[in-house]
Structure 1
Amino acid sequence: MELFNSALGKNITFVRPPYFIISGLIGIPHVNYYYAFLFTFYIVSVVGNVFVIVVIILDRRLRTPRYVAVFSLVITDLCGICALEPKVIDTFLFNHNHIPYNECLAYMFFSFMFVSMQSFNLVALGIGRLMAIADPLHYHARVTFKFMFTLLGSFWLGIILLVMIAAGLLTRLSFCDSYVIKSYYCDHGPIYRLGCNDVTPSRVLAGLCPVVILWIPFVFILASYIYIAYAVFKISAAQERIKAMKTCSGHLSLVAIYYLPIMFIYVFAANIHQNARIITVSLTAILPPMLNPIIYVLLTNEITQSVKMIFKVQKVTVK
C-alpha cells in the first residue's frame, strides 16, 4: 500500500482511524442465532469442499483439463469462506466488532478476491461446456491443461489487480466523521462511503466492479448457453440431446446459485432495508460454497462414480 500511495503522490497526509467498527445487523432480536446459523453453514461448506478436493486428488480419472476449472472453483470456495466467515463468527458471536485499519483492508482484499474469482471460475466451466457441445470432435485437442491453466491464470491475475486497486484507493481516503462500517464484514462500498475527502475514484471503481465481475461474465455465460441450446436442437437423436443437456445441468445450477442473489442486491439495493441487504449478502457468500459440493456429487456423473468407488473400497477395507 505504501508503494501505491507513493506512486499517486508524495507528502500527502491522510486521516486513518486506528480501527473500524463493524455494525452488522441492527435492531433484530436474538440476532446471534443468525450468526450461529452462518457458522453451521460454514462448517458444512468446509467439510463439503474438502471432501470434493480429496475425491479429485484420489481419483486419477478426474485429473483432466475439464476438472482443472472444477478444482479451481472448489479451492476458491474453500479459501473464500475461510477468509470471510471465521472473522464474522469472531465479530458477532464473541462481540469483537473492532477491527484494526490495516487488518480490515487485508480482510476486504482476500474476501473480495475469492468471491469475485468464483464468477470467473464459472466462466471457465462455461467455456469448457461450450467447446464440448459446439465442437466435440476438437474438444480434447483444444481444451488442454495448458489452455485451462492459461485461462484461469489470466482470470486470477486480473482479479488480483482489480482488488489491489480497490484496496489501494481506500488508503487514499481520510476518515473524519464515522468509523462504523454498515455491513457484516469489511465491505468495499460501506468503507469508501465513510471517506470525508474525494471518494470519486472509489465510487467509479465500485460502479465498474459489478460490470467486470458480474454482468460481463453473466452475459457471456448466457450467450454461450443460447449457442449451446441452438447446437443441441440441431442434434437429430433425442437421446443425444438429453445427454448433452444433462451435462449442462450442474453448471447451470452453480450459475443460478451464484448470480441470482447478487443481482437481486444490485437491482433492488435502493429499495431494500439495510438489514435485508446484509442478510442477502451474507447468504450469497455462504450458500454457493455450501451447495456447490452437493451439486458436484449429485449432478456430475464422474464424481458420483468416484465417490461410490471410494466408499466401496472403504467398506472392503473395513471387512
Structure 2
Amino acid sequence: MFSNSSSNNVLSLETLDLSTLQMYPAFVFGTLTYLIIVFCNLLVLLTIAVSKTLHKPMFILLFNLPISDIVGATAFFPQLLLSIATQNRLISYSACIIQAFLIHVYGTANLLILTAMAYDRYTAICRPLRYNAIMNTHILIKMIISVWFINFSIMLTLFMLLVRFKICRTHIVDLYCNNPSLMKLTCEDTRVNNYYGIMASFVLQGGPLSIIIYTYAQILRTCLMTNHADARQKAIQTCGTHLVVFLILQINTAFTLISHRINGVSPFIRRAFGVSILVFPPILDPLIYGLKTKEFKQCMIMFLKRNVDFTK
C-alpha cells in the first residue's frame, strides 16, 4: 500500500506546547478521558449484546455507533498519550497513514450510522403501522452492510490516491494525522485527489444532511399534529438529542475540512475543532443514547447488577 519512497519517512506532528508542569496533568486527563470513552462505549455494546429486549432495529443500529467511537478514540488517544509521556511528536509515515485512515473511517461511520438511526426514528414516528414491515431483519442487515461498505470503499479509494505520492515535507500541521494534512506534504499535482475529496465530502456530508433535514421535518410535523402530549414530548426529546449529536459532528467536520482550504483560518481554531471531533461524540453518544433512553437504562442497570452479583 505504501510507496518505498515514503514509507520509511519519519514525520513530525504539530507541537503540543506543554511545559514540564503541564505534561503530567495532561497525561492523566487524556488517559482518564480515553478510559471513560472506552468503558462507556463498551458498556453500551455489552448491554445491547446481552439484553434480548434490546434486539430491536433502533438498538441494533445503535450497536454500530460505539464500535465506531472506540475506533476513533483508539486511533487518536494512545498515540497522543505516548507523545506526551515521551515528549516526542515524531510518527512514521505508515503509522500516520493508518491513524488518518481510522480517524476518517470513524467520522464517516458516525455520520452514516446517525443517518440510519434518523431514518429508523422517522419510520417509527411517522409510519408506525408499517414500522415492522419496513424495518425488518433483511432491510436492517442491508442498511448496516451498506453503511460500512460505503464507508470503507470511499476511504480506501481516498487513501489509495494519497499513498501514490512521494512526499517532500515532513511536518504535519495538525495534532493528529488526517488526509488534508498529509496532502500538504506532497509537492506533486494533487488535483485528482482534491476533486475526489470534494466529491466524497459532498456525498458523505450533503447526503446525510439532506436525509436528516427531511426525516426531522417530517417527525416535527407528525409530532405537532398528534393529540398526545406525552408522545409528542418524548418524540421531540429523543429526536432533539439525536439532532444535537449529529450537528456537532457535522459542523465540526465541515469546518475542519474547509479550514484546510482557507489560509486565513486560525490554525489554533482548526486544531481545536479537529480534536473536538474525536473527543465529544464518543463521550456524548453513550450518555445521550444510553442514559436518555429509559428502556436501555433499565437493561444497563440489570446488566451491571447481574455482573456485580456474579463477582461477589
Scaled by the length of structure 1, what TM-score is found?
A: 0.86
Could you tell which deviates more after superposition, 160-169 or 243-252?
243-252
Instruction: Provide the C-alpha distance between the structure 2 equivalents of 1:228 and 1:204, rounded to a whole number of angstroms.
Output: 35
Cα–Cα, structure 1 residues 179 and 129, in superposed 2: closer, same or farther, change >3 Å? same
Tell me if structure 1 keeps the 8 A contact 2:13–2:175. yes
Instruction: Provide the C-alpha distance between the structure 2 equivalents of 1:231 and 1:237, rounded to a whole number of angstroms.
Output: 11
Instruction: Provide the C-alpha distance between the structure 2 equivalents of 1:315 and 1:180, rounded to a whole number of angstroms.
Output: 49
- In the TM superposition, what is the alpha-carbon distance from 1:103 to its structure 2 partner? 2.6
- In the TM superposition, what is the alpha-carbon distance from 1:15 to its structure 2 partner? 4.2
Aligned-CA RMSD value: 2.5
- In the TM superposition, what is the alpha-carbon distance from 1:23 to its structure 2 partner? 2.4
- In the TM superposition, what is the alpha-carbon distance from 1:157 to its structure 2 partner? 0.8
Q: State the percentage of identical aligned residues.
A: 23
Secondary structure of 1:112's aligned partner: helix
Secondary structure of 1:181's aligned partner: coil
Tell me if structure 2 keeps the 8 A contact 1:265–1:277. yes
The AA in structure 2 aligned to 1:158 is I
Cα–Cα, structure 1 residues 95 and 209, in superposed 2: closer, same or farther, change >3 Å? farther
Instruction: Provide the C-alpha distance between the structure 1 equivalents of 2:278 and 2:293, rounded to a whole number of angstroms.
Output: 23
Secondary structure of 1:16's aligned partner: helix
Q: Which residue of 2 aligns with 1:22?
A: 12
Secondary structure of 2:6's aligned partner: coil
Q: Which residue of 1 aligns with 2:301?
A: 308
Task: Give unmatched runs, 5+ long, in structure 1.
Answer: 3-12
- In the TM superposition, what is the alpha-carbon distance from 1:115 to its structure 2 partner? 2.0
Q: Which residue of 2 aligns with 1:260?
A: 251
Please tell me whether residue 212 in structure 1 is matched to residue 209 in structure 2. no
2:180 to 183, 186, 189: 189
Q: Which residue of 2 aligns with 1:117?
A: 109
Kindly provide the CA deviation profile for residues 123-148 of structure 1, in whole angstroms up to 9, marking residues without a partner as x.
11001001111100010111122212
Q: Which residue of 1 aligns with 2:226?
A: 235
Instruction: Provide the C-alpha distance between the structure 1 equivalents of 2:15 and 2:203, rounded to a whole number of angstroms.
Output: 29
Tell me if structure 2 keeps the 8 A contact 1:23–1:180. yes
Secondary structure of 1:99's aligned partner: strand
Task: Give unmatched runs, 5+ long, in structure 2.
Answer: none
Please tell me whether residue 286 in structure 1 is matched to residue 276 in structure 2. no
The AA in structure 2 aligned to 1:147 is I
Cα–Cα, structure 1 residues 182 and 268, in superposed 2: closer, same or farther, change >3 Å? closer
Kindly provide the CA deviation profile for residues 145-185 of structure 1, in whole angstroms up to 9, marking residues without a partner as x.
22122112112111111111111111221222x21111122
Instruction: Provide the C-alpha distance between the structure 1 equivalents of 2:199 and 2:27, rounded to a whole number of angstroms.
Output: 31
Cα–Cα, structure 1 residues 311 and 187, in superposed 2: closer, same or farther, change >3 Å? closer
Cα–Cα, structure 1 residues 318 and 105, in superposed 2: closer, same or farther, change >3 Å? closer
Please tell me whether residue 226 in structure 1 is matched to residue 213 in structure 2. no
Tell me if structure 2 keeps the 8 A contact 1:20–1:180. no
Kindly provide the CA deviation profile for residues 10-50 of structure 1, in whole angstroms up to 9, marking residues without a partner as x.
xxx98426224232246565664556533332111001101
Cα–Cα, structure 1 residues 219 and 34, in superposed 2: closer, same or farther, change >3 Å? farther
Instruction: Provide the C-alpha distance between the structure 2 equivalents of 1:163 and 1:89, rounded to a whole number of angstroms.
Output: 26
Q: Which residue of 2 aligns with 1:198?
A: 189
Please tell me whether residue 295 in structure 1 is matched to residue 288 in structure 2. yes
Scaled by the length of structure 2, what TM-score is found?
A: 0.88
- In the TM superposition, what is the alpha-carbon distance from 1:236 to its structure 2 partner? 2.6
Tell me if structure 1 keeps the 8 A contact 2:11–2:93. no
1:1-319 superposed matches below 5 A: 1=1, 15-16=5-6, 18-25=8-15, 32=23, 33-34=25-26, 36-176=28-168, 178-266=169-257, 270=262, 271-313=264-306
